[in-house]
């Protein structure tokens, strides 16, 4: 299917499209459609949470206009687009999930301090392209936005009532962004933009800044401070975000079970890792919205390749399979879970020995993951266990204590990545947060992060005895910090050698 666009005469000669243009057709197709229903909407539970999130951002930027685009549709090829996913800062501040809403822009318009929404400093409005009537050309001829092509889209009334937002037509956006814009100190209104999300909005803001004499350096500072604030606003999850994450994790658990059931087929196939990948994907897509990131389905030595997403290897008896996968919920929150298990259901002695070292490292990390601990201390706790175990096994060229110093680090040869990252709308959530609020900050209730220690002994690693080579083990859980400790959101998946063996045996029946 290709769309029917207005084209120049020259272009029409090569037009493969087939929608008729005759007035007999255009008049007939515009008639006798039932009117779209535009009533009976219920306010979504997320609306009040999103309003709170906006009020917090508003308080940080009084007197300034904030511009948060959802982003445009992205072309896959010619007139075929990818499925739409809004930018995460936009999703967080609006509460909108899947499919909502290409080209939309959320604008925080400054008002007198304390007189805005929820006693904040802004009135916030969502600008988007509302559903066109069934008597319009858009209805049948617009392949990107027309209801005939992509299904109904929301009306202004619908989003206003469901999400508690002021809503306006996208045609009013330019004025909304540019009116009175300029240098705050010189009587204009500062614009702060979430940049590199929507090129059309970037261009609007850039032109306005150029016309009003805002320096490039100053503009960069304004925008990057907003990006940092929006990222930091996601460090502590509210109750509905925790619900969303738990739902994503629960679907992910189901996906892992589906993978265990698919193992016999995976062993038979010359690209068994793809059988594993697609078994998980079937749950991600049927129960959730999508994957939160590309699945790592890695058997044997492939498990020692940190971002192995080619997944075209075999799945072999006697080897371990590392599966790192997460379902993204319709709310766009994702899980990020890893389990490593023996393809034939039984760990060998050396596999179990390495597994238990990783498990002990994870348990040590869990033990310190509570309020008051600094984020980087989770990693330190895990590394302390791994370095000592590697020393015990005679693999470290120095003592564990030396390896654990800043000048050492030899143990990192087998575990070169971090142990934890924040998790939420993005798999690596809050990535723009300042280090003092992320890595060096104390854990607080409501933070959600991974604990994912690992050991990777590559086939090519001549520094370790042969029995270790080709073993890659990572154990990754999703963890909520609470008032007095933590909750393992992914505890429904077994973590111990015995637990995994029993789980696999049960699912094989
Ligand atoms: N799946 C990516 C990560 O574990 O961080
Ligand atoms: Mn992770
Ligand atoms: Mn992961």
Last residue of a domain, one of 174, 201, 231: 231
Distance in Å, CA 45 to ligand 3 centroid: 29
Distance in Å, CA 106 to ligand 1 centroid: 30
Residue 301 structure tokens: 């030595």
How many angstroms separate the CA atoms of 323 and 326, rounded? 10
Whether residues 184 and 295 fall in one domain: no
User: For ligand 1, atom 3, which residue shows the shortest CA distance?
Assistant: 336
pLDDT-derived band at 186 (thresholds 50, 70, 90) equals: confident
Q: Is 134 inside any structural domain? A: yes
Whether the Cβ atoms of residue 34 and residue 156 lie closer than 8 Å to each other: no
How many angstroms separate the CA atoms of 191 and 181, rounded? 7
N residues, the chain: 509
Distance in Å, CA 324 to ligand 1 centroid: 7
pLDDT for the residue 125: 98
Q: In Å, what is the CA distance from 449 to each residue of 237, 336, 383, 398, 488?
A: 11, 9, 17, 32, 10
pLDDT for the residue 13: 63
With 0-12 / 13-18 / 19 or more C-beta atoms within 10 angstroms meaning exposed / middle / buried, residue 18 is: exposed
For the CA of 417, the closest atom of ligand 1 is 5
105 backbone dihedrals φ, ψ, rounded to 5°:
-140, 130
Last residue of a domain, one of 205, 231, 257: 231
Distance in Å, CA 337 to ligand 3 centroid: 5
Distance in Å, CA 452 to ligand 2 centroid: 6
DSSP state of 42: -
For the CA of 326, the closest atom of ligand 1 is 1
Whether residues 264 and 184 fall in one domain: no
| Model confidence pLDDT, tens digit, residues 440-477 | 999 999 999 999 999 999 999 999 999 999 999 999 99
Distance in Å, CA 80 to ligand 3 centroid: 30
| Model confidence pLDDT, tens digit, residues 397-422 | 999 999 999 999 999 999 999 999 99
Mutate to test the pocket of ligand 1, among 249, 306, 328, 476 (most ligand atoms within 8 A of CB): 476
With 0-12 / 13-18 / 19 or more C-beta atoms within 10 angstroms meaning exposed / middle / buried, residue 261 is: exposed
For residue 388, give the CATH number of its domain: 3.90.230.10
- For ligand 1, residues with CB inside 6 Å are 293, 324, 336, 421, 427, 452, 476
Q: Is 71 inside any structural domain? A: yes
Is the model more confident about 3 or about 245? 245
Q: What is the dihedral of CA 443, 444, 445, 449, to 10 degrees?
A: -40
* 3-class SS letters over 2-14: CCCCCCCHHHHHC
Q: Is 16 inside any structural domain? A: no
Closest-approaching ligand to the CA atom of 307 = 1
Distance in Å, CA 52 to ligand 1 centroid: 30
Mutate to test the pocket of ligand 1, among 295, 326, 336 (most ligand atoms within 8 A of CB): 336
Q: Is 23 inside any structural domain? A: no
Distance in Å, CA 31 to ligand 3 centroid: 52
| Model confidence pLDDT, tens digit, residues 121-177 | 999 999 999 999 999 999 999 988 999 999 999 999 999 999 999 999 999 999 999
Mutate to test the pocket of ligand 1, among 248, 277, 291, 324 (most ligand atoms within 8 A of CB): 324
Whether residues 221 and 114 fall in one domain: yes
Q: Report the predicted TM-score, pTM, of the whole model to 2 decimal places.
A: 0.95
For residue 209, give the CATH number of its domain: 3.40.350.10
Q: What percentage of residues in the chain have a pLDDT greater than 90? A: 93
Could you tell me how far CA 84 lies from the centroid of its own chain? Answer: 13
pLDDT-derived band at 2 (thresholds 50, 70, 90) equals: very low
| Model confidence pLDDT, tens digit, residues 225-274 | 999 999 999 999 999 999 999 999 999 999 999 999 999 999 999 999 99
Mean pLDDT over each residue of the chain, to the nearest integer: 95
The pLDDT of 422-429, averaged and rounded, is: 98
DSSP state of 330: T
Whether residues 222 and 270 fall in one domain: no
For the CA of 336, the closest atom of ligand 1 is 1
Whether residues 278 and 305 fall in one domain: yes
Residue 497 structure tokens: 């050698």
Whether residues 334 and 455 fall in one domain: yes
Mutate to test the pocket of ligand 1, among 339, 452, 456 (most ligand atoms within 8 A of CB): 452
For the CA of 421, the closest atom of ligand 1 is 5
Q: What angle do CA 239, 243, 244 make, to 5 degrees?
A: 115
Whether residues 400 and 311 fall in one domain: yes
Task: Say whether pLDDT at 361 is over 80.
Answer: yes
| Model confidence pLDDT, tens digit, residues 387-398 | 999 999 999 999
Closest-approaching ligand to the CA atom of 449 = 2
Distance in Å, CA 230 to ligand 2 centroid: 21
With 0-12 / 13-18 / 19 or more C-beta atoms within 10 angstroms meaning exposed / middle / buried, residue 136 is: middle
Provide the 10 A C-beta neighbour count for residue 129.
Answer: 18
Task: Say whether pLDDT at 35 is over 90.
Answer: no
What lies within 8 Å, CB to CB, of 420 at 6+ separation is 365, 375, 378, 379, 449, 450, 451, 452
User: For ligand 1, atom 4, which residue shows the shortest CA distance?
Assistant: 336
How many structural domains is the chain composed of? Answer: 2
Closest-approaching ligand to the CA atom of 451 = 2
pLDDT for the residue 400: 98
Whether residues 142 and 66 fall in one domain: yes
What is the helix (H) or strand (E) element at residue 192, kind and residue range?
strand 191-193
Could you tell me how far CA 250 lies from the centroid of its own chain? Answer: 16
Placement of tokens 């738990």 in the chain: 246
Last residue of a domain, one of 212, 231, 250: 231
How many angstroms separate the CA atoms of 410 and 404, rounded? 8
Q: What percentage of residues in the chain have a pLDDT greater than 70? A: 96
Q: Is 9 inside any structural domain? A: no
Q: Is 288 inside any structural domain? A: yes
Distance in Å, CA 336 to ligand 1 centroid: 6
Whether the Cβ atoms of residue 326 and residue 336 lie closer than 8 Å to each other: yes
At 122, is the secondary structure helix, strand, or coil? strand
At 404, is the secondary structure helix, strand, or coil? coil
DSSP state of 120: S
Determine the number of helices (DSSP H) and then strands (DSSP E) in the chain. Answer: 16, 17
| Model confidence pLDDT, tens digit, residues 481-494 | 999 999 999 999 99
Task: Say whether pLDDT at 45 is over 70.
Answer: yes
Expressed as residue numbers, the domain containing 308 is 237-506
Whether residues 415 and 473 fall in one domain: yes
Whether residues 82 and 216 fall in one domain: yes
How many angstroms separate the CA atoms of 123 and 116, rounded? 5
Whether residues 282 and 382 fall in one domain: yes
Whether residues 315 and 409 fall in one domain: yes
Residue 151 structure tokens: 């299904």
pLDDT for the residue 4: 46
Q: Is 29 inside any structural domain? A: no
Placement of tokens 């109904």 in the chain: 152
For the CA of 324, the closest atom of ligand 1 is 1
pLDDT for the residue 187: 81
Residue 504 structure tokens: 């696999």
Q: Is 364 inside any structural domain? A: yes
Ion ligand 3: residues, Cβ under 5 Å: 324, 336, 476
């Amino acid at each position: 299917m290709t769309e029917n666009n207005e084209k120049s005469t020259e272009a029409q000669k090569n037009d493969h499209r087939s929608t008729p243009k005759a007035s007999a057709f255009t008049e007939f197709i515009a008639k006798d459609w039932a009117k779209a229903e535009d009533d009976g909407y219920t306010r979504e539970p997320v609306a009040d949470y999103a309003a709170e999130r906006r009020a917090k951002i508003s308080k940080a930027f009084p007197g300034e206009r904030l511009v948060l685009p959802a982003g445009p549709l992205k072309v896959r090829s010619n007139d075929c687009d990818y499925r739409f996913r809004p930018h995460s800062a936009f999703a967080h501040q609006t509460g909108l999930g899947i499919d909502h809403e290409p080209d939309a822009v959320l604008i925080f318009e400054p008002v007198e301090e304390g007189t805005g929404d929820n006693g904040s400093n802004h009135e916030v409005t969502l600008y988007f392209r509302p559903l066109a009537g069934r008597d319009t050309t858009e209805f049948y001829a617009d392949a990107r936005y027309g209801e005939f092509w992509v299904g109904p889209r929301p009306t202004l009334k619908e989003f206003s009532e469901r999400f508690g937002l002021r809503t306006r037509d996208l045609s009013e956006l330019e004025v909304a962004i540019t009116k009175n814009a300029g240098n705050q100190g010189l009587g204009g209104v500062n614009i702060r933009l979430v940049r590199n999300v929507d090129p059309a909005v970037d261009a609007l803001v850039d032109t306005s800044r150029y016309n009003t004499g805002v320096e490039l350096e100053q503009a960069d500072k304004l925008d990057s401070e907003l990006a940092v604030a929006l990222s930091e606003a996601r460090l502590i999850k509210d109750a509905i975000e925790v619900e969303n994450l738990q739902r994503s994790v629960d679907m992910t658990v189901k996906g892992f079970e589906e993978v265990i059931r698919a193992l016999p087929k995976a062993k038979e196939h010359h690209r068994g890792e793809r059988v594993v990948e697609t078994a998980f994907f079937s749950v991600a897509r049927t129960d959730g919205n999508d994957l939160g990131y590309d699945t790592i389905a890695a058997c044997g030595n492939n498990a020692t390749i940190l971002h192995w997403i080619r997944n075209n290897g075999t799945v072999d008896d006697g080897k371990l399979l590392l599966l790192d996968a997460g379902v993204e919920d319709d709310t766009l929150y994702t899980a990020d879970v890893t389990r490593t298990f023996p393809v034939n259901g039984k760990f060998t002695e050396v596999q179990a020995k390495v597994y238990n070292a990783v498990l002990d490292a994870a348990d040590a990390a869990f033990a310190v993951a509570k309020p008051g601990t600094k984020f980087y201390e989770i990693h330190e706790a895990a590394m302390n266990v791994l370095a000592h175990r590697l020393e015990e096994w005679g693999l470290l060229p120095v003592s564990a204590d030396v390896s654990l110093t800043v000048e050492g680090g030899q143990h990192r040869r087998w575990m070169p990545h971090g142990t934890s990252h924040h998790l939420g709308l993005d798999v690596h959530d809050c990535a723009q947060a300042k280090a003092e609020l992320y890595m060096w900050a104390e854990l607080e209730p409501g933070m959600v992060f991974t604990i994912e220690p690992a050991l990777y002994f590559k086939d090519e690693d001549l520094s370790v005895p042969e029995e270790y080579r080709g073993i890659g083990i990572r154990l990754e859980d999703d963890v909520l910090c609470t008032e007095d400790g933590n909750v393992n959101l992914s505890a429904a998946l077994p973590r111990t050698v015995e637990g995994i063996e029993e789980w696999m045996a049960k699912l094989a029946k």
